Structures are given as C-alpha cells and as structure tokens.
Structure 1
Amino acid sequence: MNPPRHDLDDPEYAAFAWGRFKRILRWMALAALVTAGLAELVLYHWLGGLNFVTASATFLGVFVTMMVAAALMGLMFLSSGTGHDERVEDPLKGEVDID
C-alpha cells in the first residue's frame, strides 16, 4: 500500500491547503485593516485633519503592502508545507563547483 501523499496533486489535500491559505489571508486582511486604521489615527493625531487624498493613500498603501506581504509569505509556506519544494529537480546538482 502506498503512503498517503501530502502535496497539491492530491485533490483533498490541495483543498485543505488552499483553504488554510485563504483562512490565513482573511485573518491578515483583518490585521491589515486594523493596522491601516491605526496609521490613520496616528497621522490624524500628529497632523490634525487629513485631506481625502492623504488619508486614502495612507490607508491603501498600508493595507496593500501588508496584503502583498501576507500573500507572498503564505504562498512560500504553502509551497514548502505541501512538499512542492522537495520535488523540484536541480539540473546543475553535482556540476557546480563551489570553492
């Protein structure tokens, strides 16, 4: 009997892994919203009233930066956690001389 595969080729495990990834992104979206809101409050406290362009650029900049970072880190952990990284073949293995 073959051992169970825990990689993205197994549809059940892929659904589990992508579900976990989406759940993490939802939590990070909440954290990003809170952080962007706090950034707005800090700027309002320091500078007084903010015009719409400054407030929206700050909010979107903080939110989008955090979401891109969360998505990239999540994909990195998804790739590593599902065994995808171990399946990559190195065509130069044994041919590169590092001295």
Structure 2
Amino acid sequence: MLVWIALAGVLMVIGALWYLSLYDALYPSAILAAIGGVFLSTLLGCGLFAAAFFSDKSGHDSNVSSATQQDDEQGS
C-alpha cells in the first residue's frame, strides 16, 4: 500500500511540474517547492485517510463510542 501511495505522490509531482511549466519557466526553487509541497501533502493526506479507515475496521471506534454512551447514560 505504501508503494501505491508513494507512486501517487510521484505522479502528482510530475503533474504539478508539468502544469507549472506551461505558464512559467521552472526555477530550481520552484521545482523544490513543488516537489516538497505536493509530495508531502499527498503522503500526509493518504496516510491520514489510511489511519481513519484502519481505525474504523479495527473496532477501536466502536469501543470508544459505546464507552461514551454508557457514561452519558450513567451521568443522566
């Protein structure tokens, strides 16, 4: 799964650099900023979604929600 996420990040960087090259010359600082920003944002977004889906499938979320419901019922 990590390989697919990294591949998606690389493809997003290539797309962003291609788009930037259509409208302006690519300077080394712009290339580094695009690589850093797009690649890290893609990895962070995919990682957070993966963590949310893993948390949902593992059952930890239902344990927390049932515990809070029991606390609400006892507190009332």
TM-score by length of 2: 0.82
The aligned length equals 72
Aligned to 1:54: 30
Unaligned runs of 5+ in 2: none
Alignment of 1:20-35 (within 5 A): 23=1, 25-35=2-12
Q: RMSD over aligned Cα, in angstroms?
A: 1.6
Deviation at 1:92, TM superposition (A): 3.7
Task: Judging by fraction of residues, say which structure has more helix.
Answer: 2
Match of 1:78 among 34, 48, 54: 54
Percent identity over paired residues: 26
Q: Give the Cα separation in 1 of the matches to 2:14 and 2:34.
A: 9
Gaps of at least 5 residues in structure 1 are 1-22
Moved over 6 A (4+): none
The TM-score normalised by the length of structure 1 is: 0.65
